[in-house]
């Protein structure tokens, strides 16, 4: 099996005339992959996939990837590789974030995946993660003459980026994410930790922007996209933004529901139904600290930024076809 699959990926890379590429983001809560067709002016995302691996579950407890998580990741990569072949993918880039940064045995998984599939995994820093997200977001939002705060909530870390006049001024990766937070079983304990870290985030923002509220507050990541979808589902309003008052109501409602109720009443996936609560609370708290009236929710994030890094052209727009 390893030789067969490895030779498959090598054959894919010898068709430079094709312009179908794939990006893989190995996050702490889920592995996400996208397949895209690239033209001179546009990146068409033709397939999006998500594997709820939750690598951070064991890593954030003992700094080790469990044998089961390693096996599940390898199985996900094999499935992806066959899809890449079916779509005639010519180039693949794979990155990993917080859980793989923390795992003492991440090298083992990286070497196994290289041997099995031929795909090399790059464990990126929080700063690189923030830069990629910014590159994607600025294809959707005009930053001219504005001060903006970008917040990307992941399973293992939260990236806060500061943008001024269209340029990335500074970024900081905070070692707090939703998978880490749900390890605190009591909601009150999660809230206390969120209060503490939101003050750290606020100090970071104030150190560059002063006490004035940002012109734009932007949220990315799977949980924030889901907040937008819940707004559309229940409030019949666009999913591209959410007012502070609405976030407040959502946070209160989500916290009162049981895990099972969130799955059945809100149609949330099991590995979304638990983490969406701390994500909403963290968003709410930072918005309150910064006096942000609404959060803008663009339909792009890390995986789109990863695609852009592959084509090396920031002038392309995104189109999600499927």
Q: Structural domain tally of the chain?
A: 2
Q: Which of 277, 191, 187 is nearest to 230 (CA)?
A: 277
What does residue 282 show for φ and ψ, rounded to 5 degrees?
-65, -40
String of b and e for 87-109 (b: at least 16 CB within 10 Å)? Answer: bebbbbbbbbbbbbbbbeebeeb
Residues 84 and 168 in one domain: no
Residues 165 and 229 in one domain: yes
Q: How confident is the model at residue 16 (pLDDT cuts 50, 70, 90)?
A: very low
Q: Which of 189, 162, 149 is nearest to 289 (CA)?
A: 149
Provide the percentage of residues in the chain whose pLDDT is more than 70.
Answer: 91
Which range of residues forms the domain containing residue 38? 2-125+302-320
Residues 212 and 292 in one domain: yes
Would you call 214 helix, strand, or coil by DSSP? coil
Would you say residue 159 has pLDDT above 50? yes
Q: Is residue 132 part of a domain?
A: no
Q: How far apart are CA 148 and CA 130, in angstroms?
A: 14
Q: Is residue 136 part of a domain?
A: no
Q: How far apart are CA 152 and CA 308, in angstroms?
A: 18
At 15, list the tokens: 């068709």
Residues 213 and 171 in one domain: yes
Residues 209 and 244 in one domain: yes
What are the beta bridge partners of residue 149? Answer: 162, 217
Residues 106 and 163 in one domain: no
Would you call 25 helix, strand, or coil by DSSP? strand
Instruction: List pLDDT tens digits, range 212-235.
Output: 999 999 999 999 999 999 999 989
Q: Is residue 199 part of a domain?
A: yes
Residues 179 and 289 in one domain: yes
Cα distance from N-terminal residue to C-terminal residue, the chain: 31
pLDDT of residue 48: 95
Q: Is residue 184 part of a domain?
A: yes
Residue 193 contacts residue 181 (beta carbons within 8 Å): yes
Q: Is residue 134 part of a domain?
A: no
Residues 113 and 159 in one domain: no
At 105, list the tokens: 């045995």
User: Strands (DSSP E) along the chain, which ranges?
Assistant: 20-26, 31-38, 42-51, 91-96, 121-123, 147-153, 158-164, 167-174, 216-220, 241-243, 294-296, 317-320
Q: How confident is the model at residue 12 (pLDDT cuts 50, 70, 90)?
A: very low
What does residue 16 show for φ and ψ, rounded to 5 degrees?
-65, -15
Residues 113 and 161 in one domain: no
Q: How confident is the model at residue 9 (pLDDT cuts 50, 70, 90)?
A: very low
Output the domain CATH number for residue 260.
Answer: 3.30.420.150
Q: Is residue 133 part of a domain?
A: no
Output the domain CATH number for residue 114.
Answer: 3.30.420.40
Q: How far apart are CA 276 and CA 154, in angstroms?
A: 11
Q: Is residue 131 part of a domain?
A: no
Would you say residue 126 has pLDDT above 90? yes
Angle at Cα 126 formed by Cα 203 and Cα 155, nearest 5°?
Answer: 90
Q: Which of 312, 52, 287 is nearest to 151 (CA)?
A: 287
Helix axes 126-137, 302-311, angle to 10 degrees: 80
Residues 221 and 287 in one domain: yes
Output the average pLDDT for the chain.
Answer: 91
At 201, list the tokens: 């985030």
Residues 150 and 104 in one domain: no
Residue 189 contacts residue 183 (beta carbons within 8 Å): no
Q: How confident is the model at residue 40 (pLDDT cuts 50, 70, 90)?
A: confident
Average pLDDT for 122-139: 96
Residues 114 and 36 in one domain: yes
Q: Is residue 292 part of a domain?
A: yes
Residue 177 contacts residue 156 (beta carbons within 8 Å): yes
Q: Which of 96, 155, 85 is nearest to 120 (CA)?
A: 96
Total Cβ atoms within 10 A of residue 200:
12
Q: Is the pTM higher than 0.85?
A: yes
């Amino acid at each position: 099996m390893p030789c067969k699959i490895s030779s498959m990926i090598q054959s894919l890379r010898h068709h430079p005339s094709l312009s179908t590429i794939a990006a893989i983001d190995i996050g702490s809560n889920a592995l996400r992959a996208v397949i895209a067709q690239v033209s001179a002016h546009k990146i068409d995302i033709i397939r999006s996939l998500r594997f709820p691996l939750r690598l951070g579950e064991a890593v954030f407890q003992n700094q080790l990837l469990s044998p089961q998580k390693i096996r599940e990741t390898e199985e996900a990569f094999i499935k992806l590789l066959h899809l890449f072949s079916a779509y005639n993918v010519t180039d693949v880039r794979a990155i990993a974030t917080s859980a793989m940064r923390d795992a003492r045995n991440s090298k083992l998984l990286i070497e196994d995946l290289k041997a099995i599939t031929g795909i090399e995994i790059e464990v990126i820093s929080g700063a690189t993660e923030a830069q990629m997200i910014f590159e994607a977001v600025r294809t959707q939002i005009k930053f001219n003459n504005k001060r903006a705060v970008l917040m990307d909530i992941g399973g293992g870390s939260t990236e806060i980026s500061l943008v001024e006049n269209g340029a990335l001024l500074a970024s900081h990766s905070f070692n707090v994410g939703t998978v880490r937070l749900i390890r605190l079983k009591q909601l009150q304990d999660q809230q206390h930790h969120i209060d503490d870290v939101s003050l750290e985030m606020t100090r970071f923002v104030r150190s560059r922007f002063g006490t004035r509220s940002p012109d734009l507050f932007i949220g990315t990541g799977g949980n924030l996209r889901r907040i937008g979808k819940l707004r559309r589902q229940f409030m019949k309003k666009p999913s591209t933004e959410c007012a502070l008052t609405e976030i407040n109501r959502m946070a209160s409602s989500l916290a009162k529901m049981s895990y099972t109720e969130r799955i059945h009443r809100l149609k949330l996936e099991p590995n979304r139904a638990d983490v969406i609560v701390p994500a909403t609370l963290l968003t709410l708290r930072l918005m309150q600290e910064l006096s942000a009236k609404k959060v803008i929710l663009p339909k792009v994030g890390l995986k789109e930024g990863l695609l852009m890094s592959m084509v090396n052209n920031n002038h392309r727009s995104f189109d999600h076809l499927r």
